[in-house]
């Protein structure tokens, strides 16, 4: 019982407005108490240690705890599985945690566990954002927001809204805005907080929901960084990495952004400490993608041309197969910018072209525009991709969820059970989706690229 209570305290510290202070306070209060050597106690202690700044010791305990949770998952209820799963996200193990969360999502839908499902969807939305699967992150966050609002879980709704705010920023839209470019709504006709147009699911369920402050600050920082407003970006990232209300994972992801922004301003001295902080987290966790980003930071910091090129090349090699296409594209963009400044126009053109294609695939318009500007500087006039060219961009979020399941061969009844919709509603969404996709039957869906 004691270990479970300590874990609840660790989970509350994780979601507190000031996680660092909450973790340190909790550790001080439980110092000297004997909770035994149960893996749950070790996991809770590891989470608190990492939040409080002990990355190396905390990471080892969290890794041990995560292995225990997966190994014993069938020994506990679905609610407890969801509560204990996923803390190895602190280690940057995004693909592993994602695959486990997909299995939990499926189980929630089969059992009709609508109250627990939003927490799993939140985990998936964040993981898909981290993995560069922006469209999937968007559809997951919108569904999660709708269910969280329906079930009165407003604290989860603010977190879903934070994910949507970051996705909006990456696509060059003001976080929290309700309209996309040229007066259109967000992907699929929803606004950027996930509320649909008249008659669509999600409308007015949480009319005053606002994104969580950590994620909203990060969204503003990413928008400013993507648009080249480096001084403003640096202010946001500095608040996330060094302010009194920093959050571990948001802070970790903001450190490389802080390095990039600082090197473009008169406050370049701030880049070194931020890079060192990220290197400490990388050393404690050992993930490949983090190593690649660490090398990118080192490339930005060095003034020696040969050394900078070596770091960029090593970073790109480390990115191969790391599952983070957005970070890889950012490394190629920065490398291309560096190559252009060193007058290597052909090499710059190659790196920037690859980066641009990646950003376009991920709906990261702000970053795609940066790549286009750099390409123009080396004498290339890249065409702007047609809006909505991808099939999935023609569908609403709900239509996309339905057709993806229909493409696997599920019946309307089975799809409805998965999405908590009636078979009739499923049929309605399919009938709306078919003409948008240029097909006339369910059988033709399997041949389409639905992302």
pLDDT digits (tens, 9 = 90+) for 283-302: 999 899 999 999 999 999 99
On the question of pLDDT at 34 being above 50, the answer is yes
Token reading at 408: 């696997």
Instruction: Encode pLDDT of 379-388 as tens digits.
Output: 998 876 544 3
CA distance 144 to 199: 18
Please count the CA atoms within 13 angstroms of the CA of 270 that sit on its side-chain side. 22
Which of 98-107, 202-211, 381-390 has the largest mean confidence?
Answer: 98-107
On the question of pLDDT at 177 being above 90, the answer is no
Using pLDDT thresholds of 50, 70 and 90, give the confidence band for residue 207.
confident
Q: Cα separations (Å) of 2 from 15, 31, 75?
A: 20, 13, 19
**Closest CA relative to residue 196, chosen from 401, 359, 390, 445:** 401
On the question of pLDDT at 245 being above 70, the answer is no
Instruction: Encode pLDDT of 116-133 as tens digits.
Output: 999 999 999 999 999 999
CA distance 243 to 268: 18
Q: Cα separations (Å) of 280 from 20, 56, 352?
A: 17, 8, 30
Whether residue 120 contacts residue 107, with contact meaning beta carbons closer than 8 Å, is answered with no
CA distance 278 to 252: 7
Q: pLDDT at position 200, please?
A: 34
**Closest CA relative to residue 241, chosen from 263, 262, 226, 223:** 262
CA distance 328 to 167: 17
Axis crossing angle, helix 248-263 with helix 271-285, rounded to the nearest 10: 140
Q: For the whole model, what pTM was predicted?
A: 0.84
Average pLDDT of the chain to the nearest whole number: 86
On the question of pLDDT at 178 being above 60, the answer is no
Q: pLDDT at position 205, please?
A: 56
Instruction: Encode pLDDT of 127-175 as tens digits.
Output: 999 999 998 999 999 999 999 999 999 999 999 999 999 999 999 999 8
Mean pLDDT of 16-40: 81
On the question of pLDDT at 44 being above 60, the answer is yes
- Beta-carbon count within 10 A of 322 CB: 19
């Amino acid at each position: 019982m004691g270990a479970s209570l300590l874990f609840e305290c660790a989970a509350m510290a994780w979601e507190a407005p000031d996680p660092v202070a909450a973790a340190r306070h909790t550790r001080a209060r439980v110092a000297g108490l004997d909770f035994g050597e149960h893996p749950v106690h070790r996991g809770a202690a590891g989470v608190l240690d990492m939040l409080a700044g002990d990355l190396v010791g905390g990471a080892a305990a969290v890794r041990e705890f995560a292995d225990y949770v997966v190994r014993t998952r069938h020994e506990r209820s679905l609610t407890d599985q969801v509560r204990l799963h996923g803390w190895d996200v602190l280690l940057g193990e995004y693909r592993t945690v994602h695959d486990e969360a997909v299995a939990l999502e499926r189980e929630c839908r089969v059992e009709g566990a609508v109250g627990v499902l939003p927490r799993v969807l939140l985990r998936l939305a964040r993981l898909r954002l981290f993995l560069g699967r922006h469209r999937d992150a968007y559809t997951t966050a919108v569904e999660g927001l709708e269910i969280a609002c329906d079930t009165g879980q407003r604290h989860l709704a603010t977190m879903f809204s934070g994910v949507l705010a970051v996705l909006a920023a990456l696509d060059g839209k003001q976080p929290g805005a309700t309209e996309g470019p040229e007066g259109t709504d967000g992907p699929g006709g929803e606004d950027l907080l996930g509320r649909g147009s008249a008659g669509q699911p999600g409308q007015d369920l949480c009319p005053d929901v606002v994104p969580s402050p950590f994620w909203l600050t990060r969204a503003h920082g990413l928008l400013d960084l993507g648009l080249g407003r480096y001084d403003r970006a640096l202010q946001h990232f500095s608040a996330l990495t060094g302010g009194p209300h920093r959050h571990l994972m948001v802070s970790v992801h903001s450190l490389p952004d802080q390095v990039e922004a600082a090197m473009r301003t008169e406050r370049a001295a701030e880049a070194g400490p931020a890079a060192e902080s990220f290197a400490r987290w990388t050393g404690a966790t050992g993930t490949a993608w983090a190593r690649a980003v660490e090398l990118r930071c080192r490339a930005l910091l060095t003034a020696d041309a040969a050394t900078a090129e070596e770091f960029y090349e090593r970073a790109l090699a480390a990115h191969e197969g790391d599952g983070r296409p957005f970070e890889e594209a950012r490394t190629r963009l920065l490398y291309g910018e560096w190559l252009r400044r060193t007058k290597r126009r052909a090499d710059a053109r190659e790196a920037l072209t690859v980066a641009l294609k990646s950003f376009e695939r991920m709906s990261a318009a702000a970053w795609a525009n940066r790549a286009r500007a750099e390409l123009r500087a080396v004498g290339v006039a890249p065409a702007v991709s047609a809006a909505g060219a991808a099939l999935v961009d023609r569908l609403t979020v709900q239509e996309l969820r339905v057709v993806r399941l229909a493409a696997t061969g599920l019946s309307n009844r089975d799809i409805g059970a998965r999405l908590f919709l009636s078979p009739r509603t499923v049929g309605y969404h399919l009938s709306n989706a078919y003409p948008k996709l240029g097909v006339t039957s369910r059988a033709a869906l399997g041949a389409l690229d639905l992302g």
